[in-house]
Structure 1
C-alpha cells in the first residue's frame, strides 16, 4: 500500500503532512478560504473521526455501507458485482469504500481527500484490514487520475463540502470508464439539514449547561476540550457548503454528462433522534456513556430507519428526509 499525491503510481515523498491542531490565526484565515478550512477541519478530526461517528469496519458498518449502495443502484447492478477498481472521493477515514470492498462491491480501490490527515487514516485503516488500497491527497474539482481509470466512484457525505459540485461530478464522469457508475450517499437535504442543525444546537446547549451543575460535573468534558470543540464547530460551519434538493442533484449529475441518473433519500425520524444522540455523545467525556448507551443508540436508529423506509417513505416527500443519495453512469458502456 502506498500514499501518493500525483498521477503516478509510485510513492510520493512530498505528501503534505497533516495539521491536527490549527492555531487561532489559521482558523481565522480559513474563515475566508473554504479549501483551507476543509483541510484544517478534517485534519483536526481525522484521528478521532471514527470514534466520533461510531464508524467501524465490522459487519455492522459493512451492512450499513452495502445498504446505502443497494438503496441507490438498480437490482441488476447488484447482481453483477464486484466492480474491479473503485475510487472514493473525499474519503475521510475510508468508511464507505473500505466497507464496500468488504461487502463485495469492489475488488480494489483508491482513496482521495483534500485532507492529508484523512488520507493517512484511511490508508492505515485499509492496511489493517488487508485490503488492496492506495491513497492520494487530491482536490475533488481536479481528480489526479487519467480518463477512463475507474469502474466505480463512490463518496459518502462529501459533495456538500465541494465548492463546485457540478465541476466535481464532471471530473467523476471523466475518470470513470465507459459504463462505469458513481454512487454518492449521505448528502444533506435542505429541509433535513434545517431540523438536524436546530436539534443538534439545542442538544449541545442543554448538555453543556446542565453539566455545569455540581452533581453532574462527572458528565462534563474539561472546558479546554469544549472550547476546542467550539473552534472545530466554527470551522464546520465553513466547510458545510451546500444542502440539496434531490431534483437539483439529479440535474447537476445530468449536466455533468451522466446518464441513468436517479436519487433516493432516507432518514426522517431516524435523523431527528440521531443528531441529538451524536451531539450529546460529543458533549460528554469519552467512554462515559458505555456499551449500554451504544446499543440503545444503534437499535433506536435501526428501528426508526425501518419505520422511515416502510411507513414515512409512502407519505413524506423525498426532500424531507435527511440524507439523499445520487447515482449515475458514464455513457458508452453496456450499463448505459
Structure 2
C-alpha cells in the first residue's frame, strides 16, 4: 500500500475538523511543521544531539544489549531519536514511523543524508503496520502524549517486539512539569509580543502574519498534545500492557524552567536576531542546568516535579 502524500498547507475546513479529531490534528500540524521542525527545536545530527540521545537512552535503559540489530521509532518526527541513536552505536538498522507523511519524508531524507540503513512507513501507533516479533527495540521521543489510546499503543509496541525486546520512550511531559512549562511559555509570549510593539524595539517583532501563523499553530498544538503523565501512572500503563522490568525516570527541572521561556522567546522574534552567540548561550545554559538537575536536584526533589519522564520495559 502506498503511503499518503504530505499535506503541509491544510485548508481552513480541514483545520476546523481537526479540533474534534486528534489524529487529523496530528497529521495536519506535523505535516505543516515537518520542513522547519529541526530548526525550530534546534535538532541536529552531530555530536551535540548524538550525546543527548544516547545519554537519555542509557539513563533509563542502560548499555546492556547494544547495539540492537533492529529498531523502530514510533512517532519518529524527523528521526531525531532513532538517527542519533544509530550514529551513537546503539542501533544497527532502523525503521521510522509517524502518523504524519511529511515527517516520515523528512526522516527518510535525513537518514539518506547521513548514510544510515533506515526504512519508513506512515503508521498509526494504535495499529502498527509490522508483523508480530519484528524488532529488537522500539523507541520514541515525545510521542506518547500525542496518542489517544496510550495503553493500546503500548500493547501494539509489545506485539511488534521480539521476546526479550525492549522499548524506550523519552521526552514525555509530566503533569506538574507541563503546568509550569505552559504558564512560563504563555507569559513569555505575552511579554515578548507586547514589549516589541514599542517603536524602539520594533526590529525585534516578527511580522504580524508570522505571529498570526504561530498563534494558529500553537492553537492546534493544544489539540495534538493530549496527555500528561504521572511517572507512576505511566509505569502502571506499561505493566498493564504486559511489559516486565518497567522503570520510569524523570529529568529537567531547572533546565525546563529556563528552557521554555527561551524557546518561546525564540519563536516570537525574527530568526535573524538569534545569532550564533545567542544560540551557544542558550545551549550552554541548558547543559549547565541539566547537569544541576542530574547531579543535585534529582537526588532531593520528587520525580514528579521534573518536566520530562522516560520509561522502559521488556517484552516477556
TM-score by length of 2: 0.99
Determine the structure 1 residue equivalent to 2:312: 327
- Deviating 4+ runs (over 3 angstroms): none
Q: Could you tell me how far apart the structure 2 residues matched to 1:286 and 1:221 are? A: 8
Determine the structure 2 residue equivalent to 1:285: 270
1:214-268: CA deviation from partner (whole Å, max 9, x where unpaired): 1111111111111111111111000000000000000000011100000100000
Determine the structure 2 residue equivalent to 1:62: 50
Determine the structure 1 residue equivalent to 2:67: 82
Count, aligned residues: 316
Q: Could you tell me how far apart the structure 2 residues matched to 1:222 and 1:176 are? A: 48
1:170 aligns with 2:155: yes
Determine the structure 2 residue equivalent to 1:195: 180
Determine the structure 1 residue equivalent to 2:250: 265
Once the two structures are TM-superposed, the CA of residue 208 in structure 1 deviates from its matched residue by: 0.8
Q: Could you tell me how far apart the structure 1 residues matched to 2:305 and 2:11 are? A: 38
Structure 1 residue aligned with 2:86, among 101, 113, 124? 101
Determine the structure 2 residue equivalent to 1:130: 115
Once the two structures are TM-superposed, the CA of residue 287 in structure 1 deviates from its matched residue by: 2.6
Q: Could you tell me how far apart the structure 2 residues matched to 1:251 and 1:44 are? A: 34
Q: Could you tell me how far apart the structure 2 residues matched to 1:55 and 1:287 are? A: 18
Alignment of 1:1-336 (within 5 A): 6=1, 14-74=2-62, 78-331=63-316
Q: Could you tell me how far apart the structure 2 residues matched to 1:166 and 1:79 are? A: 26
Q: Could you tell me how far apart the structure 1 residues matched to 2:120 and 2:299 are? A: 41
1:166-214: CA deviation from partner (whole Å, max 9, x where unpaired): 0000000000000000000000000000000000000011111111111
RMSD (Å), alpha carbons: 0.8
1:43-94: CA deviation from partner (whole Å, max 9, x where unpaired): 01000000000000000000000011011113xxx14310000000000000
Q: Could you tell me how far apart the structure 1 residues matched to 2:161 and 2:71 are? A: 9
Gaps of at least 5 residues in structure 2 are: none
TM-score by length of 1: 0.93
